[in-house]
Amino acid sequence: MSRPEQQRAFGVAAGLPAEVCGPLAATCEETGYASIWANDHPGAKGLETLAEFARAADSIELGVAVIALDRQSPETIAADIDRLGLDPSRLWIGVGAGFNKKPLTTMTGILPELRERLPGIRLVMAAMGPKMCALAGSSYDGAFFNWMTPEFASGARQKVEAGAAEAGHDTPPVFGYVRTAIGDDAAERLAKEESFYRDLHKGYRDHFDRLGEPEGTVGVAAGDRADAQAKLAAYDALDLIVVRGLASARVEPMTELARAAAPG
């Protein structure tokens, strides 16, 4: 079966100020992004950021990636969606094992509860290693990659495809954050972001060891729009590139980056 045409999305860190969320969501909707995403972290809930996006843009799809299930239960996620008035038909909910010591067991065992608590919502699973990629392909509605080079993403996609084939169905969509900075300080922004994740926990340390790439090189650091577009195009293993914007949390820098990295 042929793959669908690649799409592009925009992603931010949860907790982006409300006065930035509105103009950014409107810009992303205007410039052809398929969806807009927020991560989720102990300091801010991604779903609350999505609610701010939803107030400003009424058709673009909304995604959170990823909610760590060692911090939030399926019941809590469902309650937040209801509390915030989010339309389930617009949502992609990304979930991950967090700091659980047995991530594969965790993500296999919790899926029935996720389906029960979040009916009709598309569930994507954070996947880095080969077994997690295969599980995402076999059992979830999508796989979500993070901190990968184009070449590594291609190999990881093959594991997702193998999991789907073993389960007897088509490969679900493969998503991935691609950290993107544009401008004179792009390399410094990317390196700063990457350095935080490289030593965040054992899962990330192992992942970056597998990548074997020099520090500050995993993602896109571009001088201008043309450079950014060429580097993003290398991520052809992804069905949806989520441009994770590395810019100051103000309206002008964020919307400028979104326009520069927009599809087409």
CA 176 to chain centre: 5
The sign of the CA dihedral 171, 172, 173, 176 is negative
Does a structural domain hold residue 2? no
| 86's tokens | 């989010």
Report pLDDT for 1.
58
Residues of the chain with pLDDT under 70: 1
Q: What are phi and psi of 52, to 5 degrees?
A: -65, -40
Residue 175 token pair: 């998503």
**What is the C-alpha to C-alpha distance for residues 216 and 102, in angstroms, rounded to an integer?**
29
Q: Is residue 192 part of a domain?
A: yes
Residue 211 lies in a domain: yes
Residue 55 located in a structural domain: yes
Q: How far apart are CA 118 and CA 133, in angstroms?
A: 22
Q: In terms of Cα–Cα distance, which of 220, 194, 225 is closest to 207? A: 194
pLDDT of residue 200: 86
- The predicted model scores a pTM of 0.97
Asked, for residue 24, whether it belongs to a domain, the answer is yes
CATH code of residue 60: 3.20.20.30
- Cα(78)–Cα(117) distance, integer angstroms: 6
- DSSP class of residue 255 equals H
| pLDDT digits 0-9 by tens, 216-261 | 999 999 999 999 999 999 999 999 999 999 999 999 999 999 999 9
Number of domains in the chain: 1
Q: How many CB atoms are closer than 10 A to CB 141?
A: 14
Burial of 5 (0-12, 13-18, 19+ CB in 10 A): exposed
Separation of alpha carbons 23 and 27, rounded Å? 6
Q: How does DSSP assign 83-106, residue by residue? A: HHT--GGGEEEEEE-TT-S-HHHH
Mean of pLDDT over the chain:
97
Going 177 to 178 to 179 to 180, the CA torsion angle's sign is negative
Contact assessment for residue 178 and residue 218, using Cβ atoms and an 8 Å cutoff: no
pLDDT of residue 245: 98
User: What pLDDT is recorded for position 42?
Assistant: 96
The verdict on residue 181 lying in a domain is: yes
DSSP of 152-216: HHHHHHHHHHHHHHHHTSPPPPEEEEEEEEESTTHHHHHHHHHHHHHTSSHHHHHHHHHHTPPTT
Q: What is the pLDDT of residue 185?
A: 97
For residue 264, the model assigns a pLDDT of: 85
Residue 1 located in a structural domain: no
- What's the pLDDT score for residue 203? 84
CA distance 35 to 21: 13
Range of the structural domain that residue 242 is part of: 7-260
Predicted local confidence at residue 172, as pLDDT: 98
66 within a domain of the structure (yes/no): yes
